[in-house]
Every structure is written in structure tokens, then in C-alpha cells.
Chains A and B, each alone.
Chain A
Amino acid sequence: MATRKAPFRYAAKKTNKMMWLIQAALVINVIASTVLYTIAGFDGLRLLISASLAVVVGVVTEYVFYRSWKRPKSVGYLILQKHAAMIPLMVALLLPLHAPLYLVAVSTVVAVWIGKLVFGGFGYSIFQNATVGVLFAYVSFAPQIALTPALIGQEVFYPIDVLKQALFNNELSGLDMTSLLLGGEYYTIAAGAMSGLVLIVLWVILSATRTIDWLIGATYVASVFAIATIVGGTELGIEMILTGMVLFAAVFLVSDPITSPTTRNMKILYAVIVALVTVLIRILGNNTEGVLFAILFGNVLTPYMNRNARSGTLRTFIQTAAIAIVITVTSGYVLLQMRQPVAEELNTTVEVLIDETL
């Protein structure tokens, strides 16, 4: 006879099951991207190898960590209960296809050790683990990860680079949106962001099974679209979503429950802020892709947002939605004002200065 506290039933939704569904989605993404890269004429199998390597390295890292901490855990426990394979898969999918294998391993170690384990392991992270590892690779190994024709053996470019150049010149990128949506033509900055369609399907499945909160991903994508639309029209909005990691982030990174805020209202604001920073970096910043920095910035704000969260009534929900719309529209409008005139003003000021000096 056992006694316990109420409740005697739980709503049937288990954390373990949710995490396994996310890992299944990641594996599907790996397989789909491998096929699509092969179709596009790249070495698709490389993704399969780097994903497998990342998983092995990630599990070994966790094992060594717990061992060195004098709390040894079995490999089976780490994979089944602590979901040791999830973060390595994300790291492999976020790095470009040509990333050297040693770099995949190093990023995985950084993501798992520094991003996840030092904060207490699964469930306790402050920063999205995979983002930490991948940003480390981008910041510390910039030359090794840079896209050089010699590395690939053929003339390739990232769609996001084309977009960035187009934004500088204040024109549209001219990329084929259908190919970006379906995948199998362009060489993407993140190996897992090959096909927008695959990610949308995964997002629908994960949302329908209530594994991820649909609201947060939807708000993120909608905000990116809205701000970009105000700046450069609907075409720019669609380009912003389909090039780069925005859809991947909507499915796996922004909607990560552990590092996002804990109330519905704050989740909406979080998604809007991440979207705003994404677009800011893309349009004004030096970096090409703003998603990872934006998510890290959002993670920094999460504890603050949790502390200032208020109850989720209809009234606060309407207030939050209103604030979200105001942020989106205002930032879009400000960006629109800042983009073109800055360059023109700079030119005129220089001309005036030259005139005055003469």
C-alpha cells in the first residue's frame, strides 16, 4: 500500500515523450537535409557523419562530466533520461555542411559542457545550449568555418549573403523563393535549414502534438515577417524568413521551453524581441545572420521577464499583444527611416564639408 499526495491522475503529457519527439524531428531533419544536399550536388553524407560524430561526442562529454563530478551515470540513462543526443544534433544542424569535423566536435563539447552541464544539466540551462556551441565556432573559428570555393570544390554562396548584399544596395536579392522553400538548390548557412517546407511540416507536427508551444514560434516568424515587410515590402519579408535560420529557430531554438519565459504573455514578448534583434542585425549589423545572437540576447532577458511576469488574464493578454504590435510596427518604421536616408545624408554631409573646406 503506497500513499501519495493528490493529484491521482496527470494530464497525459510526459516530458520524456516530448523530448523524444523533438529528437525524432531533429533526426528527420538530418535525413531530409542529407537527401536534399545530395540532390543539389553537394556531399550530403557529410551531414550524416557530422551528426553522428556530434551525438557520440555529446554523450561522451556528458559521461565524462558526471564521472569527473563523482556522480557517474550510465550512457543509457544519459541518452534516455537526460536527452544527451538532442543538443549535439542541433549543433550539427546549425553548422554549415562544410564545417570541419573537429570543429563539429569542439562546438558540441562547448554546447554540452558550457551551455548545458555547468548550469546543472537538462532542464537548468539559461542559454540555448546549441546556440552557445555554434556561436563559439563562428566567433573563434571564423576562418575555418568561412565559405571558400576551395573547400567545397565549386562556386557556391549562402542565400543569406546574397540577401545581406541586396540589403546594402537597397534592392531585392532575386533569389528563387520556391527553391528556398522546397530546398535542394541553394547551399544554406545552417545545414538543417536546407528546406523551409521540411521545417514547416516539423513545426506543424510538433505543435499539433503539443510538444512545443506553437504561439512562440508563430509570433517569432510573424514578427520577422512584419518588421521586414514594413522595411522593404512583402518580398523582403518572405526572403527574411526563408533565407537563413529563422524557420529552424522557430521550430527548435526560440520555442525551446527551458530557455524561454514561463508565461504566455512573456513568451510573446520574448519572440518579438528575438525577432527584432534578428532583423536589426541583418539590416544594420556587421553580421550576416542575426538569429543566434538574437536568441542569446533573448535568453539574457528571460529571467528578467520571468520576474516581471503578471497573471495571464484576457486583459494582460490584450495588453501584451498591443505592446508586441507597437514594438513591431515602431521598429519597422524606425528601420525604414534609418536605412536609406543614412547613406544619402552621409554623402550630402561629406559634400557639404568638402564644399566648406574648399
Chain B
Amino acid sequence: MQKQQSLRPSSVSIPLHNPTTKYYDLNVAVGERVLVGQKIAVRYNQEVRLPVFSSVSGIVRSVDSLEYVNGISMDHLVIDNDAKEEQVKARPLLKPYTAQMLRTQLVDMGVEGLDQNGLYTSLDFTNNINQVIVNAVYENAGFVKEDVQFFETHQDALIKGCYLLAEASLKPVTVLTNQRSFATKCQQAGLQVRLVRPRANKAWQVEAIASIIKQQPPYDLLSVGVIYTNAHTAKAVYDAIELGVPVTSTEVVVLLDDAKQQRIVETKIGTTLADVLAGANASAQQDATYFSGNVLSGSSMKSGEFVVHADASTVGYTSSVIEEDVCIKCGLCNDVCPVGILPQNIMDSEIREAEDRIYSYSVDQCVECGLCSYVCPSEINVLEWVRRAKRRVARGVE
């Protein structure tokens, strides 16, 4: 995998709100100059208030409506980049820390967890937390290789970030890794380590979490008191507390039709898709499907007009057309399912609307990893059928 230099887009469009926090107060006016890391808005819903930061220094141009997730438009603040990279004064937390101070600082710095697709949870310390797990391998798509360069460059920051997570949660932190040297360093820092063997077509992280918490992981890990986050968030925790800077850039995997063209691009939050593609030496395709988020569980976009935000680890497009075939009952989905709920049998019962049988399967255990669809030789979207069964069971329970 080829890693590109950090992108310097001429302008960025920063999402001001998202589907979970629908309202926002703007702190800056059009024409005003902003700096990197400056708080430009606060987004909120009834309970939470979260800051939004500028990722570049420059002049605020306008507020535009752009696509955020599949078909849903959100307001974005457009800032012209003057490329001076002027930062606001860093506000590192002064030692000694208390757990509450750490938590407040994390909220103030907008660290909620990058890569929210899939099983990852937000850094929500309000519930009873028993365990924090940091995935230090990479993303939950089996075929995306680990980002070795990231771990080499930011090793110390990462370990300190994990340690700070333990201090903030007052609970043990377990790091999942496949690098022995990194594991040793984590152990020296007093962290628990679990060596994993990430393999394609295997939900190895589900198995690892199951063995740590000694139970089948549910779809919502927070409900069993587990915070599951990734290495990038751990580094962001370090940045927010020790350096006092918020998340203004992210690493995004650019996946194009040809798997060999897959690249990691380090870019500012709010970079448009066109700029990211240009940075990856690719051009937009007319009839392709654009997607944002994980390959297995991300969402496809209605237009090519969207930006990179902190929640999406992957952007890309695919021109391939799904040629759905008949289910040949090969059972690959049953064998690959990390929670062992037999997706083929669930799909079969859902097609026949055999309610008794649907209830007899533990459909609520599905973690929606999407592997069942991914391995299907007939390109059937098995997960969609399982989701239907889940909705049917949920309706029945109510």
C-alpha cells in the first residue's frame, strides 16, 4: 500500500452537524479569518454539545449544503485555505489529571472516536464501563492491510493515548495488535495486550473481543460496558490531552475499482472527494457508485459531492454491477459468521416468512459485520435479509 503525502486542498467544507446532533450554533461569520484548530461551531442535540473545529487557516466563504451520508444533506462551512497552517494556541491539560478532567478535555477537543463504522463505539464514559479495547491493527475490512507506517511514526503517542484512556475510564485497556515488538512496548507501559492474527474473510476482532469480555459481543458494545475504539482515536486522545490540539486531519483509505490502486491519504477533515481522488492520482467516474465508510458496512452516496469527515475511514468508488445469482446453499456465510447465527438459514426463513423459524435463530446477536454478504459467491446481500429478520423480531417483541 502506498502512502501519500498530506494533502493541501485549496478549500475545505467542514460538516457542521450530523444525523445524531442535528442543530448547531455558528461561532464565526462569513468573511472572518479562522485558524487551524479554532472552534467554529457547536453542534448539539438534547443531551450533548460537541465542538466543531476548523482544519485549515483561511477565510470563511459560505455555508453550503452537501451530502453527508446516503442522500442526507447537511450544512457545511466552506473555508478557503490560505496554506499558512496557523494554529490556535494549544491548550494541553495540566498534570495531575483526574478522570473527570480527562473526560471533559476529550469532549472539549471533540474526540469522539474516528472510524465509527462497524463495531466501534464512541468514547462515552457516562455508562458503566468495564473494559476499553483498542484495535491497533487497522480497520475492520479483512483485506485492508495494517498501516505499518502509522504505527512506526506514532508508536509512543499511541501507547500514551491508550494509557490516558485507562486513566479516563478507570478501567483496564486491552490493545489488539499483531506486532510482537509493539506488544512488548505496550506491556512495559502497563497495558494489557492481546496478540491477534488478522486474516481476510475472518471477523477476528469479534473473536478477540469475545475472548476478552468472555461473552458473545452484542451489536452495541456500550450496552455491555465495553468501549471499542481504534489506534487513530488513541492517538487523538494523546493529541487532545498532552498537546492540546483537536482532530483536524485524518487518514483515509482510497479504494478504487482495482484493488492495486488502494492508497492511504492523509488529509484535512472537510477535503472534498474530488481533491482526495486527485491526491490519489485518480479521477472521478461518471457511472460509478461512490461510498463513504467501511467497504463492508459503509454507505453509498447519491452524488460525488461529499467530503471526508472524521467518521469515515474509507472513501472510494466501484463501477462493478451486482450480478445477483441464485443462492446455491454453499454455506460459506454460515461458516464465516463471527457470532455463528447461520445467515443462510435466516435468509431462507425470511424469504419464506417462516416466523417460527426466524424466532428460533438468535438474529439479535448479529453484529452487522457484513462478512456474510462479502463472501457470497452469488453476490447476494445476505446481511440485508438478516436485517429484515431482525426488524421482524423487533416488531414481534414490541
A residues near B (Cβ < 8 Å) are 1-11, 13-16, 18, 121-124, 213, 257-258, 260-264, 267, 306-307, 309-313
* Secondary structure dominating the interface of A: loop
Contact with A along B275-316 (1 / 0, CB 8 A): 000000000000111110111111111111000000000001
Q: How far is the CA of A329 from the CA of B302 in the complex (A)?
A: 60
Which are the 7 A-B pairs with shortest beta-carbon distances?
Answer: A311-B340, A123-B326, A262-B331, A257-B330, A15-B325, A15-B378, A13-B377
Which B-chain residue is minimally distant from A216 (CB atoms)? B331
Answer yes or no: B337 CB below 8 A from chain A CBs: yes
Q: Within 8 Å CB of A122, what residues of B? A: 326
Pairwise interchain contact A311-B70, C-beta atoms closer than 8 A: no
Answer yes or no: B130 CB below 8 A from chain A CBs: no
Q: Within 8 Å CB of A16, what residues of B? A: 325
Answer yes or no: B131 CB below 8 A from chain A CBs: no
- Using known A-B contacts A1-B287, A263-B331, A263-B335, determine if residue A10 contacts B374 with beta carbons closer than 8 Å: yes
Give the contacting residue for A309; candidates B71, B302, B327, B342; CB below 8 A: B342
Answer yes or no: B73 CB below 8 A from chain A CBs: no
Q: In the assembled complex, how far is the CB of residue A20 from the closest CB belonging to chain B, in whole angstroms?
A: 12
Q: How far is the CA of A11 from the CA of B200 in the complex (A)?
A: 10
- Using known A-B contacts A9-B318, A257-B331, A309-B334, determine if residue A15 contacts B370 with beta carbons closer than 8 Å: no
Pairwise interchain contact A8-B295, C-beta atoms closer than 8 A: yes
Pairwise interchain contact B337-A8, C-beta atoms closer than 8 A: no
Q: How many A-B residue pairs have CB under 8 A?
A: 132
Q: Within 8 Å CB of B288, what residues of A? A: 1-2
Q: In the assembled complex, how far is the CB of residue A163 from the closest CB belonging to chain B, in whole angstroms?
A: 34
Q: In the assembled complex, how far is the CB of residue A260 from the closest CB belonging to chain B, in whole angstroms?
A: 8
CB<8 Å pairs between A and B, sample of 27: A1-B303, A1-B304, A5-B383, A6-B291, A6-B299, A6-B300, A7-B297, A7-B381, A8-B298, A9-B143, A9-B318, A10-B373, A10-B379, A11-B374, A14-B325, A121-B326, A122-B326, A123-B327, A124-B326, A257-B329, A262-B344, A264-B335, A309-B342, A309-B345, A310-B340, A311-B339, A312-B337
Q: In the assembled complex, how far is the CB of residue B313 from the closest CB belonging to chain A, in whole angstroms?
A: 13
Pairwise interchain contact A7-B370, C-beta atoms closer than 8 A: yes
Pairwise interchain contact A312-B289, C-beta atoms closer than 8 A: no
Answer yes or no: B322 CB below 8 A from chain A CBs: yes
Answer yes or no: B171 CB below 8 A from chain A CBs: no
Q: How large is the interface on B (under 10, 10 to 19, 20 to 34, 35 or more residues)?
A: 35 or more
- Using known A-B contacts A10-B379, A262-B345, determine if residue A1 contacts B302 with beta carbons closer than 8 Å: yes
Pairwise interchain contact B384-A262, C-beta atoms closer than 8 A: no
Pairwise interchain contact B326-A15, C-beta atoms closer than 8 A: yes
Give the contacting residue for A6; candidates B294, B303, B304; CB below 8 A: B294
Q: How far is the CA of A7 from the CA of B301 in the complex (A)?
A: 13
B residues 66-100 near A (Cβ < 8 Å) are 70-71
Q: A3-B300, A11-B377, A309-B342 given. 19 additional CB < 8 A pairs? A: A1-B288, A6-B291, A6-B293, A6-B295, A6-B298, A6-B370, A8-B318, A9-B295, A10-B373, A10-B374, A15-B325, A123-B329, A213-B330, A257-B330, A263-B331, A306-B348, A311-B340, A311-B341, A311-B342
Q: How far is the CA of A7 from the CA of B296 in the complex (A)?
A: 4
Q: Within 8 Å CB of B375, what residues of A? A: 10-11, 13
Q: Within 8 Å CB of B255, what residues of A? A: 8-9
- Using known A-B contacts A1-B304, A3-B302, A4-B322, determine if residue A307 contacts B357 with beta carbons closer than 8 Å: yes
Q: How far is the CA of A121 from the CA of B326 in the complex (A)?
A: 10
Pairwise interchain contact A7-B326, C-beta atoms closer than 8 A: no
- Using known A-B contacts A123-B328, A257-B328, determine if residue A3 contacts B334 with beta carbons closer than 8 Å: no
Q: In the assembled complex, how far is the CB of residue A326 from the closest CB belonging to chain B, in whole angstroms?
A: 23
Answer yes or no: B376 CB below 8 A from chain A CBs: yes
Q: Within 8 Å CB of B325, what residues of A? A: 14-16, 123
Give the contacting residue for B289; candidates A2, A123, A124, A309; CB below 8 A: A2
- Using known A-B contacts A5-B384, A11-B201, determine if residue A263 contacts B328 with beta carbons closer than 8 Å: no
Which B-chain residue is minimally distant from A124 (CB atoms)? B326
